[in-house]
A and B are shown apart, each in its own frame.
Chain A
Amino acid sequence: MVHYQYIPKKIARIQFALLSPDEIRNMSATKIITADTYDDDGFPIDMGLMDPRLGVIEPGLKCKTCGRKVDECPGHFGHIDLAMPVIHEGYTKMIKEMLSATCRACGKIKLTEERQEKVNNKIAKIGKISENPFLFLSLTSKVRGDSISVGQCPYCGEESKKISLDKPTTYREEGHKLTPKEIRERLERIPDDHLVFLGINPKVARPEWMILTSLPVPPVTVRPSITLESGDRSEDDLTHKLVDVLRINQRLQENRDSGAPQLIVEDLWELLQYHITTYFDNQTSGIPPARHRSGRPLKTLAQRLKGKEGRFRSNLSGKRVNFSARTVISPDPYISINEVGVPKPIAMELSVPMRINEYNFEQVKEFVMKGPENHPGANYVIRPDGQRLRITDRNKETLLERLQVGYIVERHLMDGDIVLFNRQPSLHRMSMMGHEVRVMGGKTFRLNLPNCPPYNADFDGDEMNLHCIQGEEARAEAKIIMRVQEQILSPRFGGPVIGAIHDHISGNFILTHGMQMFPSDEAYHLLTKTSYGGALPEPDVIGYNGTPLWSGKSIFSLIMPDGITMEYNSSIYNPADDAEHNFDSLVRIEVNEEGHSKLLSGPIDEVSVGAFKGKLLEKIVRDFGSDRGRQFLDDATRLAINAISLIGFSTGIDEEDIPEEAKLQISDRLDEAERKVDIYVQKYNSKQLEPHPGRTLKETLEVEAMRELGRARDGAGQIASKYLGLKNSAVLMARSGARGSMLNLSQMSGSIGQQAVRGQRISRGYQGRTLPHFKPNDLGAAAKGFVKSCYKKGLRPTEYFFHSMGGREGLVDTAVRTSRSGYMQRRLINALEDLKVLLDREVRNTIGVVVQFRYGEDGIDPARSIRSDAVDYEDIVKTAMREVS
């Protein structure tokens, strides 16, 4: 149990205040007067924007204010004295409220003394404001609102005038423009003891400080200039903006002092206001953003903090890391799912720290001897005093002599190291898993295919990130918690997210479907890449010339762990057929006399080993552990690859050819549907159609037409599939669940069917019709987007157009969905990120408040649960029954 009362550190108080002009001058290291930065020799100009007293950015120099070096000196503020006061862009609303809530003549708050006393009493009742800021805020905002609505000053009797704010920084009093100077004078008149009604603590802030008379200049460390390769200096955006401020400030001062016309002074004053406003926020609404010479808008103070690229989201919530690599991924079916193939150049750049002890001394010496240029070598030696020495060919002998116990050597990444592997977007915990390194040639990360579903990866150019673990504790966690084999069962539904895909399923299917027989050489060949090392069992049959033969089912049985009894329907099970027809679509696994699991009937397909479905895989992982589960999956996929290569498998569009008679049948079926729709339309036009309850006549027609045409498409598909059996590769893939569906196939050889936009038959386009090819108000099948043709035959021009309309909607939907679910995910993560499950299954947040007294109210880990039950009762009962009989 953690005792949350004893939190080591706690922020006691945060004080928000305004900087006064005096404070700005006091904390300033120097006053800035010249807009220039460096002189011709490249030295910073005194009292310029790059004054050496503002801090150091060049290595080797010492700060003129504090005497420290780069990275030690935090930088020091300077200041600019403004010739005329300027409004601070961030306080415009507050300034308006304060002007409106106080008297324009005497500056007092427009409330009677009794009311003031009442408010003061209420505030006293609240007690410490810091403990109840919300109560205080709601009180003062009400007081302010009341004061604004008072029309006459209760003290001096002055009539109030309406103040309006012209965005962003111009105030008007009944049309008359108020200068920042006038506003400042008014705010100065507000007495200290009236400030509390405005929600201001007079101890830390005065309202007139919202009007700037001097501007703090941030240290050079905040706005470092960069020297380009050409030797030219390039200044930070903030420096550029400050140059503008200084220049206009100077001109304003000169013009004012020399008694220039009021108009010119006012223009310059406004220009100064513009520059200072954009210095704070270059996206202030109502004014054009200040731009760089190239036309790029400047990134000023607000832009540095705001949004996805701002300081918070980009530098504080997320950071760039060392010891990581990124490259394109490509498949490798012969590495384990636990592994990742790492190109040698990457393995030689990433390193693992090894602390020398007496047991690994010799091993480490070998790494240092090999140096950074040969593979299992080392890049750096770190002395116990923290000094980092790069290993080179020239110094490796001397380094080798100096090596001692306690030194740390950064050796290359090697086979068997645990690394983290990640593909963005990282939407669930399986997006970042622990893999074992396998150093390989080439330039891509190699990934085994069953890992594609959890990462949602394919190989059309996807890149992935790899992070090399630097600490023992992290390494242990990655190995025990994050390893791929520990993630096979998903916490989302308790089934496998990692499993066979595509060819793994086709391969296992053709191996185990029906009575495929193999002579001993082929049988052994199939098993070569698997972990099965034993001999073949008794042959299933003896061939006509005396050769012993083994069935695919027997061969598959060899890779299963002993002691499995299961019975379930495979993906080719057809509930409409009788038991005899379904004989080989029922998967039965039983234990034979020798105690080995044996596949008695049924093909191994998606329902057995596939990702998201695989029942057999799930059972093995659950009953025999993740180690055996991983081994089984590796074996099953390799066996499938061998089988599919041995037997051969391919498909082409001509496989979807169907005989002429079938085409006629399909065409008849579609014509019939069209006629039926025409009858509905006729009925509709003559108002004889019976409306469905709750629907209009038009809606009824649409529903009936959609249903009829949908049925017609399915009918066409059924006719077509009568001529396409399991001998057809595409059908095999669809039925076994490897790829594609029967719908895809019926669209290729039957009919594509109704196209829809927003769930309705297509009805947009011209007045009364979708395309000029149809008569106005034609409600028939073809005119509303029914595609009669199949992909094989090709679409008619109008059909093609409708098909594109439907296709476009699909694309737009996915684009909209991803961005919206991304934002939803962000909000969810921000809300849940500090929750933690304690050892006794409570859920608490970081401050120790209980969220759930028991995790998920039932304390069940969904990844280990069976259909949300902690124990698989059904399986226990079945096992017990078997043991009894």
Chain B
Amino acid sequence: MPRFNVFENHMVPRHSLATEEETAAILEKFKIIKTQLPKMLIIDPCVKALSQQHKKEGKEQIQLGDVIRIDRESPTAGVYHYYRLVIEDKPIY
């Protein structure tokens, strides 16, 4: 259980679960399959925090294979949408 919410830090961009349609649109737009998306570990603090938030709101849990949408604010690009695929935690050798 994380002791603090990473989303409260102003440097952490907004994370949310991408909907099926949204994911499909991205995959279609870039002509890629899901595994070609950038990845993030399921033990990533942001995934954990998002899971907890979902739990509180009674929404579905984050699972392997879900796509997380990250909205990054940038002075040059406005809001930039980034999508990451949630993958399982691999021991790091």
Contacts and interface: CB of A to CB of B under 8 A. Distances in A.
Contact of B38 (A1, A138, A849): A849
Contact of B80 (A842, A858, A868, A869): A858
B75 A868 contact: yes
Nearest to A138: B91
Interface string A836-866: 0000001010001111011001111000000
Given A134-B93, A138-B91, A4 B32 contact: yes
Contacts of B30: 842, 850, 853
Nearest to A867: B76
Interface string B35-47: 1111000000000
B82 A5 contact: no
Contacts of A844: 36
Interface residues of B, number: 21
A4 B31 CA distance: 9
A868 B31 CA distance: 29
Nearest to B32: A850
Contacts of B74: 857-858
B36 A849 contact: yes
B89 to A, nearest CB: 10
Interface string A170-208: 000000000000000000000000000000000000000
A402 B76 CA distance: 64
A860 B26 CA distance: 21
Interface in A780-829: none
Interface residues of A, number: 21
A394 interface: no
B33 interface: yes
A853 B82 contact: yes
A3 interface: yes
B38 A850 contact: yes
A869 B75 CA distance: 9
Contacts of A848: 32, 36
Nearest to B93: A134
Given A4-B32, A857-B72, A850 B37 contact: yes
Contact of B36 (A4, A134, A137, A869): A4
Contacts of A1: 31
A685 to B, nearest CB: 47
B77 A858 contact: yes
A850 B91 contact: no
Contacts of B72: 857
A137 B30 CA distance: 36
B31 A857 contact: no
Contacts of B75: 868
B55 interface: no
B80 A857 contact: yes
Contacts of A851: 38
Interface in B37-93: 37-38, 72, 74-77, 80-83, 90-91, 93
Nearest to A141: B91
A854 B32 contact: no
B32 to A, nearest CB: 6
A860 B77 CA distance: 9
Contacts of B37: 849-850
Interface in B4-41: 26, 30-33, 35-38
B75 to A, nearest CB: 7
B33 A5 contact: yes
A698 to B, nearest CB: 37
Interface in A103-154: 134, 137-138
Contact of A853 (B33, B81, B93): B81
A35 B75 CA distance: 73
Interface in A49-95: none
Given A134-B93, A138-B91, A854 B80 contact: yes
B76 A854 contact: no
A849 B37 CA distance: 6
Interface in A1-36: 1, 3-5
A842 B31 CA distance: 12
B67 to A, nearest CB: 12
A349 B67 CA distance: 59
Contacts of B77: 854, 857-859
Contacts of A860: 76
B37 to A, nearest CB: 6
Given A134-B93, A858-B74, A850 B36 contact: yes
Nearest to A4: B36
A848 B35 CA distance: 10
B32 A858 contact: no
A3 B31 contact: yes
A870 to B, nearest CB: 8
A221 to B, nearest CB: 35
B72 to A, nearest CB: 7
Contacts of B33: 5
Nearest to B88: A135
A858 to B, nearest CB: 4
B34 to A, nearest CB: 11
Among the interface residues A3, A850, A851, which one has the most CB atoms of the partner chain B within 10 A?
A850
Given A858-B74, A869-B76, A853 B32 contact: no
A859 B33 CA distance: 23
A295 to B, nearest CB: 40
B91 A134 contact: yes
Contacts of B35: 849
Contacts of B38: 849-851
Nearest to B92: A134
Contacts of B93: 134, 137
Given A850-B30, A851-B38, A134 B76 contact: no
Contacts of A869: 76
A447 B83 CA distance: 48
B90 A134 contact: yes
A294 B82 CA distance: 62
Contacts of A5: 33
Nearest to B76: A858
A849 B38 CA distance: 7
A842 B29 CA distance: 11
Nearest to A1: B31
Nearest to A849: B36
A850 B31 CA distance: 11
A869 B81 CA distance: 19
Contacts of A134: 90-91, 93
Given A4-B32, A134-B93, 20 more contacts: A1-B31, A3-B31, A4-B36, A134-B91, A848-B32, A848-B36, A849-B36, A849-B37, A850-B32, A853-B82, A853-B83, A854-B77, A854-B80, A857-B76, A857-B77, A857-B80, A858-B74, A858-B76, A859-B77, A868-B75
28 contacts: A3-B31, A5-B33, A134-B91, A134-B93, A137-B91, A137-B93, A138-B91, A844-B36, A848-B32, A848-B36, A849-B35, A849-B36, A849-B38, A850-B36, A850-B37, A850-B38, A853-B80, A853-B82, A854-B80, A857-B72, A857-B74, A858-B74, A858-B76, A858-B80, A859-B77, A860-B76, A868-B75, A869-B76
Interface of B: 26, 30-33, 35-38, 72, 74-77, 80-83, 90-91, 93
5 nearest CB pairs, A to B: A858-B77, A858-B76, A857-B80, A857-B77, A1-B31
